[in-house]
Structures are given as C-alpha cells and as structure tokens.
Structure 1
Amino acid sequence: MSQDPSPQADSSPDAAAQDLAWMARIKQGDTEALRELIEAHQHRVVGTVAKMLGDDCDAEDIAQQVFIRVWRSAARYEPTAKFTTWLFKITRNLVFNELRRRKRHPAHSLDAAAEDDRPMQAPDPSTKAPDDSLLNEEMQAAIQKAIEELPEIQRMAIVLRRYDDIPYEDIGEILGLSVPAVKSVLFRARTELREKLKRYLDT
C-alpha cells in the first residue's frame, strides 16, 4: 500500500486554542463544532491508522470510531495535555484493539489472494531501465510492509514520529512511556527497519 505521509502536526498556539474552543462547544452538544474538528484532524487520523493497519478501508472506519469516541467522551475531557495527544491516545487504543482482533481472527481475503497471485507483468523490451515511479512505488510498499511487521508499540512510535512529526514527549504521553523509553523503542524500530530495507538502502 502506498499512502502519502500525513501532514505535519500544527502545534501553533492558535491551533491548540482552536482545538480547545471546539471541545468546549462539543461539550455543550454542538455538532457543528464536531464537524469542524473532524475536518481539521481526520486526514492525520486516517493516515496514521492506515500506516498502522496497511488498510485504507479499515482506516476510514476506525477514524470514524475515533471521532465517535471524541463525541461521547467530550463531557469528561480535561485539557491537561494537548488535544492532539488525547486524540492520538484514542486512536492508539482503537488501533491496538483492531490489531489484536486481527491476530485472534486472521482474515483470508479472496480478493487479497487473487491480487497476490497476479502474474508479474513482463517488462517492455523497449525500456532499458525501470521507471523511477515504479521503483519508488516498490520502495514505498516495502517500507509499509516493514512497518507492518514491527511490534505494535514500535510501529505506533515510528508512525507518530516519522509521518506525524510528533515530539518525543507527546509520543510518550500517547504510548504511556518515558521519553528515554520512547527513544529506545524508536532506536530498535529504526534498526529493524534498516535491516529489512537493506537492499534499498544499499543501492
């Protein structure tokens, strides 16, 4: 799967203040505020879930569940941390639940099997070298596969850091880890990814 990186987090004071203003209105049952908040954050949530699961369709469903949880939990929300940190905690919980459900009930999709069984397309003899876009697509697919094979904590840490550009302190809040533990998890994840992607990195 090729997924564009999520936009970097907007950590400006204005953005943080806007999140708090939306949540104050959502606490009062304001559905328009919820719609505005979803529009502001859904792309990042969907992108993060897709990177974690390797599945765009499920990512849309789980992102919807994330914002349903935001709506239902709004009355209990207290701004003791950034709103985005709280949002990604909810995302983490739902993604980890889905990953564990998949381990218990592995799906054998006929569509996926058919896709895996497709014959390799013969190269055009008039083309001397693979197209750069195809090489890039292959590498992106290899990166996604390598990320999917990481343990879930490592996977979440690398996705939050690489694609969402979230600071170590916030990743620690999201995953319930100290900053040194986050750095250790990221070091192990990057080491494993480098090993898995060695053939691309050495070229």
Structure 2
Amino acid sequence: MLEEKSFAVRVFPAQHRVNKGVQTLPMTAAMIEANEAENADIARGLKRQDPELLDRLIETYQHRLMRYLTFLTGKREVAEDLFQETWMRVLMRGGQYNGKARFDTWLFTIARNLVIDLSRKRTMASLDELQDPTKDERPFEIAIDGPSPFEQFCSREDAAEVSAVLLELHASYREVLVLRFHEEMALEEIAAVTRAPLSTVKSRLYRGLATLKPQLEKLRRERNQGRKPAVTGGFC
C-alpha cells in the first residue's frame, strides 16, 4: 500500500499535495463559504442562460475538459466533438445545476454521460471497458493560474511515452487516474462523476496504479538500455 502511494507521488509529482494519506491543509470555513457562494452564482447564471458566464466557464474549464475527454476516448477528434456537445448541454440544461455540488463535478458528469452514449452508438472499443473488470474492491487511499499539474508533468522528457502508457490502461482505471491525479478530484467527487461506489473508485485507483507501474518501469529500462521505448503515441 505504501509502495503504491510512493509510486503515485513519483509519477504525478505535482498532485501529492492533495492526495488522501498525505498531509494537506484543510479548507477553512471562509474557503468553504466562498466555494458555496461561487457555485450558487454559477447556478443562478446558468438558469438565466447568461452568455458572459458561459464564456467564463468555457475559458476556465476548457483545457481540463478537453484533457479528460481525450484520455477517456483515446481519440482527439472524438474528444473535440464531445467537447462542443458538452457545452451545448451545459447551456441547454443549466437549470438542472443547483449549486450544491462543485461545478466541475457536474460538468465532468455531463461529459462522461455523452461518452457513454456515443460508445453505445459506435461500440467504441476503448469505452466498452468502462465497467470494472474485477469484483475485487481492494481499497487504496491516496482554469488554474500557471501550469496545471498535468502540464508540469508533461514538461518531463518522457511525458509522451507515459501518456501513451496511460492510454493503454483499462478505461475504468485510466478514468480514475485522470480524475484523481490530473484533475485533483477527491475520491468522493470521482464517485459522483462515475456513479460508482466509493469502494469501487478506491479499487480502480489501486489497480490502475498497480497496472501502470510495471509498464513505466519497462519503458524506463528500455530507455536506460538505449532502446527506443515501445510506444506508439501519446499527448499532453
């Protein structure tokens, strides 16, 4: 367990400050109140279909949403289409957002539902796997100003290869890794987005890291031996 936590911090170095099991500063009452007020403002603006609010939301969340959709689908072109459709749903169904949950949690839930709808129509292989392949629920606890954690990670020389390794993971594992370490969502928020029990989210996170680890170790051994890593793509 501790070994997997240490591995997560090394692979996603900028995210360790928000992981459970690692010391973090708790949100103050003022911060919680400010977040609740912001969510309430967004809810009111969406109900009246405020175009300026929508522009601000797109500017704030566009990179995160596109990154999530690209990792989830494994196809940039598909992600771009779903990106546009997601914001159309936000505009059309904004009245359904009540401000009780964080806006990004609601936004990612809309995006995920669109991905699932598309997978049913196209039988997209990379998305047929969104159901957890195992019943074992072994637990594992573990627009932004400036570069995002993912962008900081991508500044490393092996970023493209690691991105490609992520794309090779089972879709259900890949999704929780992206939401946890790239989007810095709490486990409870991931459960809300994926509509999975918290125990299942923990299991997928643990197994995703356990699957990712040997792939990355193999990649780094090949690099140290002067061989070209055996990956075919990747993105940041």
TM-score by length of 1: 0.69
Match of 2:160 among 116, 138, 141: 141
Q: Tell me the residue number matched to 1:163.
A: 182
In structure 2, the partner of 1:42 is: 62
Task: From 79, 82, 102, give the equivalent of 1:59.
Answer: 79
Provide the aligned C-alpha RMSD in A. Answer: 3.1
Matched residues, percent identical?
A: 30
From 94, 115, 118, give the equivalent of 2:114. Answer: 94
| Kept in 2: contact 1:194–1:201 (CA 8 A) | no
User: d(CA) in 1 for partners of 2:77 and 2:45?
Assistant: 30
State whether residues 180 and 186 of structure 2, in contact with CA within 8 Å, keep that contact through their aligned partners in structure 1.
yes
Larger Rg: 1
- Aligned partner of 1:20 in structure 2 is 40
2:39–2:100 contact (8 Å) kept in structure 1:
no
Give the direction of change, closer, same or farther, for the CA distance of 1:104–1:154 in structure 2 (3 Å limit).
Answer: closer
1:196 aligns with 2:212: no
CA–CA distance in structure 2, aligned partners of residues 74 and 170 of structure 1 = 19
Indicate the SS of the match to 1:79. Answer: coil
Alignment-mate amino acid for residue 74 of structure 2: G
Q: Report SS of the residue matched to 1:80.
A: coil
The offset of 1:39, in angstroms, is 1.3
Number of residue-to-residue matches in the alignment? 168
The two structures have a TM-score, normalised by structure 2, of 0.60
Q: Is the 8 A contact 1:20 1:83 kept in 2?
A: no
- Identify the range of structure 1 (12-21 vs 44-53) with the bigger mean alpha-carbon deviation: 12-21
- SS of 1:48's equivalent in the other structure is helix
Runs of 5+ unmatched residues, structure 1: 107-135
Q: CA deviation at 1:27?
A: 0.8
Structure 2 Cα separation of the partners of residues 20 and 68 of structure 1: 20
Q: 1:16-43: per-residue Cα shift (whole Å, max 9, x none)?
A: 5334313312211222221111111112
**Aligned match of 2:193:** 174
- Residue 169 of structure 2 corresponds to which residue in structure 1? 150
